[in-house]
């Protein structure tokens, strides 16, 4: 219970700090150098896609909350987010990085789909449903709402898919960032999805993308927040 309470306190502090600071941009943010070694992507269809590479870096030291940050590089674009406690890298391919909780109860993934479709109109719920149906044509959409990352909103869904004891529940959101269209997703059993949303929201709140010059500003967390 102490571990859960401590992690909840850190999450609350992170949210308070991030909302106070706003997006990590400009001269006030302190860039964090990405380690040279990355986990290469493999085994996925990469038609018209830029393969991603993934690196994890522990951030800590005097005055900082110990955290692990995931870095994704896709061409000249970079993305980063804090990894929730108890989560480890499960897999990565040329489009997606997936994290698994230690007890196997949930998966969180960030997928770089590619450029926002040039349809002449904003990326909307209808376009998102097309992508969702292509991945899970058998899924039942339980609810539809909006999701935000880096201050940009996009359509999101909660779905159930699979059959019988293999039924799964997912929250899936599509965010049309300047750099690329991204899919954020958490998968769990229907009864555990609600409990998984705190970890998922932690990823969403701490997500950062590079600017038009390819510069990524990911702010370390001071321990006095």
**pLDDT attached to residue 184:** 98
**pLDDT attached to residue 7:** 43
**pLDDT attached to residue 204:** 97
CA–CA separation, 171 and 128 (whole Å): 13
User: Is 99 among the domain residues?
Assistant: yes
User: Is 215 among the domain residues?
Assistant: no
User: Is 218 among the domain residues?
Assistant: no
**pLDDT attached to residue 31:** 31
- Per-residue pLDDT band at 17 (split at 50, 70, 90): very low
Tell which residue, 84, 29, 34, 74, has the closest CA to residue 53.
Answer: 74
Q: Give this prediction's pTM.
A: 0.77
**pLDDT attached to residue 47:** 37
Q: Which CATH number is 123's domain given?
A: 3.40.1000.10
pLDDT per residue over 139-196, tens digit each?
A: 999 999 999 999 999 999 999 999 988 999 999 999 999 889 999 999 999 999 999 9
CA–CA separation, 119 and 29 (whole Å): 35
**Domain total for the chain?**
1
User: Is 204 among the domain residues?
Assistant: yes
pLDDT per residue over 93-143, tens digit each?
A: 999 999 999 999 999 999 999 877 665 677 899 999 999 999 999 999 999
Q: Return the DSSP state at 166.
A: G
**pLDDT attached to residue 119:** 59
User: Is 221 among the domain residues?
Assistant: no
Structural domain span for residue 62: 2-209
The pair of three-digit structure tokens given for residue 133, joined into one six-digit string: 């149906």
User: Is 225 among the domain residues?
Assistant: no
Secondary structure (DSSP) of 16-80: HHHHHH-S--TTTS---PPPS--EE--SS--TT-PPEEEEEEEE--TTB--EEEEEEEETTEEEE
User: Is 222 among the domain residues?
Assistant: no
- Asked if 111 contacts 182 with a C-beta cutoff of 8 angstroms, the reply is yes
Q: Tell me the pLDDT of the chain averaged across its residues.
A: 80
User: Is 216 among the domain residues?
Assistant: no
């Amino acid at each position: 219970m102490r571990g859960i309470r401590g992690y909840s306190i850190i999450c609350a502090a992170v949210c308070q700090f991030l909302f106070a600071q706003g997006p990590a941009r400009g001269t006030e943010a302190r860039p964090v150098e990405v380690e040279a070694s990355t986990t290469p992507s493999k085994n996925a269809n990469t038609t018209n896609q830029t393969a991603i590479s993934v690196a994890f870096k522990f951030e800590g030291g005097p005055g900082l909350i110990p955290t692990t940050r995931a870095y994704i590089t896709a061409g000249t674009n970079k993305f980063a987010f804090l990894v929730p406690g108890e989560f480890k890298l499960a897999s990565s391919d040329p489009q997606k990085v997936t994290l698994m909780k230690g007890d196997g109860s949930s998966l969180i993934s960030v997928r770089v789909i590619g450029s926002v479709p040039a349809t002449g109109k904003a990326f909307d719920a209808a376009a998102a449903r097309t992508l969702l149906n292509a991945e899970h044509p058998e899924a039942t959409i339980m609810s539809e709402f909006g999701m935000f990352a880096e201050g940009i909103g996009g359509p999101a869904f909660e779905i159930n898919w699979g059959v019988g004891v293999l039924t799964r529940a997912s929250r899936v959101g599509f965010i049309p960032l300047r750099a690329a269209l991204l899919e954020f997703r958490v998968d769990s059993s229907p009864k555990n999805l609600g409990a998984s949303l705190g970890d998922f929201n932690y990823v969403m709140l701490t997500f950062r993308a590079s600017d038009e010059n390819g510069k990524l500003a990911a702010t370390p967390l001071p321990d006095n927040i």
